Each structure stands twice: as C-alpha cells, then as structure tokens.
Amino acid sequence: MDRRQRKTREAIFKAFTELLSKKDFSKITVGEIIDGADIGRATFYAHFETKDFLLREFCNELFCHIFDTEKDDKNGHRHIFDCGGSESVFLHLLKHLQKNDNNILKLLSSQNNELFLKYFRKNLEELIESHTHLFENSNKTDIPASFRKNHIVSAFIETVRWWIENGMTESAEDINDWFFRII
C-alpha cells in the first residue's frame, strides 16, 4: 500500500470511528463516512466493499499490528496503529487502549460496543490460541480447550470494560499483571 492509499484508509477509519461514537452503526451511511473522510464514493469502494467490511478491517488492523510487532515482521507493512511495542501481546493491546489509538475507546463505550466486541472477541480468541503457553496454569487436561479459551477471552473483555468504566486510572502494566494473576 503506498502512502496515498494509507492516508486515505486512515481518513476513512477516523471518520468511521467518529460516526460510531455518535450514532448507531445501522444508521451510518457510506455517504456520511465519505463526507467525514473527504473522499469520493469510488475511493471508499476501492478500499472497502461495505461499512461492515470497514468495521471488520479496522478490528483486523489492530490485531494484525500486534501480531506483526510481536513477530518483528515489518516487511514494509505500515499499520494505522504505530508504536515500537516489544512487550507481551496483551500488554501491547492494553497500551493501545490506554493511548486510545484511533478512538478505540469511543468504539468500546459507544452504543455500538457489542458490534465492535464481536470482532474484538474473535481476534482475542485467535490471540489466545497462539499464546496458550501464557495460560499454562489454566491448562488443565480435564477442562475442554474451547471452554478455557472462552473463559479467558470473556475475562479479558470484562477486565477492559472494568478498566474503562473506572476511568483507566490504573496503568496498562497493572491491568496486565492483575489479569494474569487472576487467570
């Protein structure tokens, strides 16, 4: 993706998240997104088939960035989330939430949070599957893996909700530490 395409994609993401913070996803039109991003309709559709694809891609971008940073897989791919995160993937994710990169907190606290959380949950499941070694304490052979994964994902989502509802006064490091100590 060249620089111009990246800037357009970032403008679309920014306009979309701003709209999501103000109104229900089902009431947002592509016209409103392109007006907010200051682009043409053809440009929008060159990047995304629908606004559903846009939301999915926004969520995928967050997790793709975290996976690529963890693997130190720069290979020329620049993400909308920019950092030098070398810490654990969960701490890295918490730091992005704390920095409120690309208005993630607006998505989590908006009337559309269940929609965003659906994608968030799916990607968290993949993250946990690729990091089962971090949860060895809960790796009991008599507990089905799918149940264990569901429990960890749910606990992480509720941890993030609690953190946001309590004003995010705790550090990302503390939240990460508490999450792993309780899991």
Q: Dump pLDDT digits (tens) for 102-154.
A: 566 666 666 556 767 777 788 788 888 888 777 766 556 678 888 888 999 99
Four-way CATH pick for 3-182: 1.10.357.140, 3.20.20.140, 1.10.357.10, 3.40.1260.10: 1.10.357.10
pLDDT, one tens digit per residue, over 144-183 is 888 888 999 999 988 988 888 888 899 999 999 999 898 8
Give the whole-angstrom CA distance, residue 143 versus residue 136. 12
Task: Report the amino acid identity of residue 178.
Answer: W
- Helix runs in 21-112, H state only: 30-37, 41-47, 51-70, 89-99, 104-109
Q: What angle do CA 107, 111, 114 make, to 5 degrees?
A: 70
pLDDT, one tens digit per residue, over 43-70 is 999 999 998 889 888 777 766 666 665 5
Output the pLDDT for position 21: 73
Output the pLDDT for position 83: 58
The whole model's pTM is what? Answer: 0.70
Closest CA to 21 of 105, 93, 77: 105
pLDDT at residue 76 tops 50: no
Give the whole-angstrom CA distance, residue 86 versus residue 75. 16
The residues spanned by each domain of the chain are 3-182
